[in-house]
Amino acid sequence: MTSSRIHRMHPERGTTLLELMMALTVLGIGVLAVSQLFPAGSRVQVQDRLRTEATQFSREKIEQLELADWVGAALTIGRHPAGNAVEKLGSVGTLGRYYQVDLLAPPLDNLKRVTVNVTWSQVRACTLRAVTYLRK
């Protein structure tokens, strides 16, 4: 057998350098696309944590006000704290809380509506609002 005939019977197999570079390029693009998902997931996790904390702080205030005296200072009609002030909350102090007390019109004048607002800023200003009604 001649060497040309052996060469035709067993052609060389494998990948060329160009094929290898193309495969690595496609793999690199895929890895970069997946790596973009991690910061987005982290932002969502922080946003969910803040929303959970806000819910807990609003429920905490509602529970305090349910135990307050009907004619006490905590349940006087108006915004608490007064003006534009907010009660700073959380370990970092990024959350602020205030509440509004309103007396309902007759025949429901034995009820007060309490609206608790918890605000925070992450990318934009966010507010969680919880409303409850307290009976005389």
Residue 3 covered by a domain: no
- Using one digit for the tens of pLDDT, what is the confidence trace for 86-120? 999 876 658 999 999 999 999 999 999 999 999 99
- 18: phi then psi, degrees, rounded to nearest 5: -65, -45
Residue 4 covered by a domain: no
**Alpha-carbon Rg for the chain in angstroms:** 32
Residue 5 covered by a domain: no
Residue 127 covered by a domain: yes
- Using one digit for the tens of pLDDT, what is the confidence trace for 57-97? 999 999 999 999 999 999 999 999 999 999 998 766 589 99
Q: State the Cα angle at 105 between 104 and 107, rounded to 5°.
A: 105
Residue 121 covered by a domain: yes
Which one, of 80, 94, 81, 87, lies nearest residue 51 by Cα? 94
pLDDT of residue 4: 55
Q: Which domain holds residue 117?
A: 14-135
Residue 7 covered by a domain: no
Q: Tell me the β-bridge partners of 78.
A: 101
Tokens 């991690």 locate to 38
Residue 6 covered by a domain: no
Task: Decide: helix, strand or coil at residue 99.
Answer: strand
Q: How many domains does the chain have?
A: 1
Domain of residue 117, CATH code: 3.30.1300.30
Task: Decide: helix, strand or coil at residue 103.
Answer: strand
